[in-house]
């Protein structure tokens, strides 16, 4: 298949969801010289500086709307990747996503209705809590109708086709080219956030809620594997590892160990990419990687994956697989050693001791 044909194939398999119709009133307005009792001569021109903004209403009053918008974006990101200002979603995932977004739009519209109905009371309460600045806030508050127009919840599902003119299509194909790299960046970023949030405090067990983010990432990799051929086998790896983790009850002992290792693999850009490539090229098999991640028998074939330096990956868990892979630092530099140990402990939850630590979260070298 030619490069252009491959890009067209990708476009035929995705629906682009745009959330451009979802917007919120910020609850703020531009501060003016009049608000501060200054003349135009007493303030610098806008080309040099601004006077900032003023909050016209309690920020908590707008949080429910912000939450709905966040949930809409998260629903799209769970099964899609950023593309053309929206989210490219596999066609087979589109219907389920529409159902989620429709429900969230209803919640958003209900918030808008309630917010506008109680707007006067909210403004009065904010003014009462800040009587000294009431005149400033009142001066910049828009009319209810204007505020209502700024609050909306909606989306569009779009099928993208390539223009017949090659020159016109060039820009679109450039965006398609970036989809694979962007997708991997998103996966790594989400996995890294999970490691730092859920695995960096030394915990030795988790709940089903703990596993949730990795299960969602597995679904995302599987759904979008057609964007990058090397992702197909990686999706199999993650799903096989997840099958070793119970779907009910606590996640502990070996199961938690398996969760930790697969999350750490996804959280390292270099290891994720190299392992995916090795799987795609046949240098590794799914069984090889799964056995390594789950503590199974090491295969005879060993493939050294490139290791990142700690200085290049201070907070992306790329150095968590083994002490053996860490950069060698002279023992005489005790202060530096302490800093490295502290960073590793913060990232992995594994305290570096003189004797081997017996933690389920400890990990061995990821050598295949």
Contact 368, 288 (CB under 8 A): yes
339 or 298, greater pLDDT: 339
Q: How far apart (Å, rounded) are the C-alpha atoms in residues 171 and 179?
A: 13
Question: Comparing 90-94, 207-211, 268-272, 350-354, which segment has the lowest mean pLDDT?
Answer: 350-354
C-beta atoms surrounding 345 within 10 Å: 15
Token pair, residue 317, equals 């868990």
| pTM given for the model | 0.71
93 or 316, greater pLDDT: 93
Chain segment 14-30, per-residue pLDDT in tens: 899 999 999 999 999 88
Predicted confidence at residue 350, as pLDDT, reads: 46
> In which region does residue 161 sit, left (phi positive, over 0), alpha (psi from -120 to 50) or beta (all else)?
beta
Contact 101, 75 (CB under 8 A): yes
Contact 69, 22 (CB under 8 A): yes
Give the pairing type, strands 14-18 and 86-90: antiparallel
What is the rounded average pLDDT of the residues 165-183? 81
Chain segment 209-239, per-residue pLDDT in tens: 988 999 999 999 998 888 888 888 899 999 9
Chain segment 244-274, per-residue pLDDT in tens: 888 888 888 888 888 988 999 999 888 998 9
Contact 4, 28 (CB under 8 A): no
Predicted confidence at residue 3, as pLDDT, reads: 62
**In the structure, what pLDDT confidence band is assigned to residue 51 with cuts at 50, 70 and 90?**
confident
What is the rounded average pLDDT of the residues 196-220? 86
What share of the chain in percent tops pLDDT 70? 79
Q: Does position 364 have pLDDT exceeding 70, yes or no?
A: no
Distance between start and end Cα atoms, the chain:
32
DSSP 277-296: HHHHHTSS-HHHHHHHHTT-
What share of the chain in percent tops pLDDT 90? 35
Q: What are phi and psi of 123, to 5 degrees?
A: -65, -45
Q: How far apart (Å, rounded) are the C-alpha atoms in residues 176 and 193?
A: 26
């Amino acid at each position: 298949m030619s490069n252009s044909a491959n890009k067209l194939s990708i476009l035929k398999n995705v629906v682009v969801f745009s959330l451009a119709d979802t917007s919120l009133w910020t609850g703020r307005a531009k501060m003016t010289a009049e608000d501060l009792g200054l003349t135009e001569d007493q303030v610098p021109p806008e080309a040099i500086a601004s006077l900032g903004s003023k909050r016209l209403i309690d920020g908590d009053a707008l949080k429910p709307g912000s939450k709905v918008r966040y949930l809409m974006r998260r629903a799209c990101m769970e099964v899609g990747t950023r593309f053309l200002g929206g989210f490219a979603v596999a066609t087979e995932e589109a219907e389920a996503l529409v159902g989620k977004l429709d429900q969230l739009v209803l919640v958003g519209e209900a918030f808008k209705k309630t917010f506008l109905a109680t707007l006067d009371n909210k403004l009065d309460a904010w003014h009462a809590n800040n009587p000294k600045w009431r005149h400033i806030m009142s001066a910049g508050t828009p009319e209810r109708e204007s505020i209502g127009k700024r609050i909306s919840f909606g989306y569009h599902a779009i099928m993208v086709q390539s223009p017949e003119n090659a020159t016109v299509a060039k820009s679109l194909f450039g965006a398609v080219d970036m989809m694979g790299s962007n997708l991997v960046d998103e996966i790594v970023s989400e996995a890294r956030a999970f490691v730092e949030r859920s695995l960096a405090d030394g915990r030795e067990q988790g709940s089903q809620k703990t596993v949730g983010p990795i299960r969602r990432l597995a679904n995302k990799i599987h759904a979008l594997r057609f964007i990058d051929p090397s992702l197909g086998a990686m999706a199999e790896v993650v799903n096989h590892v997840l099958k070793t983790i119970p779907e009910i009850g606590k996640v502990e002992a070996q199961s938690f160990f398996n969760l930790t290792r697969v999350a750490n693999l996804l959280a390292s850009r270099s290891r994720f990419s190299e392992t995916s490539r090795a799987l795609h090229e046949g240098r590794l098999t799914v069984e090889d990687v799964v056995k390594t991640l789950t503590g199974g028998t090491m295969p005879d074939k060993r493939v050294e994956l490139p290791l990142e330096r700690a200085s290049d990956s201070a907070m992306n868990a790329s150095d968590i697989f083994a002490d053996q892979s860490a950069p060698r630092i002279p023992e005489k530099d005790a202060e530096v050693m302490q800093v490295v140990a502290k960073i590793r402990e913060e990232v992995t939850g594994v305290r570096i001791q003189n004797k081997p630590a017996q933690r389920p979260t400890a990990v061995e070298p990821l050598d295949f």
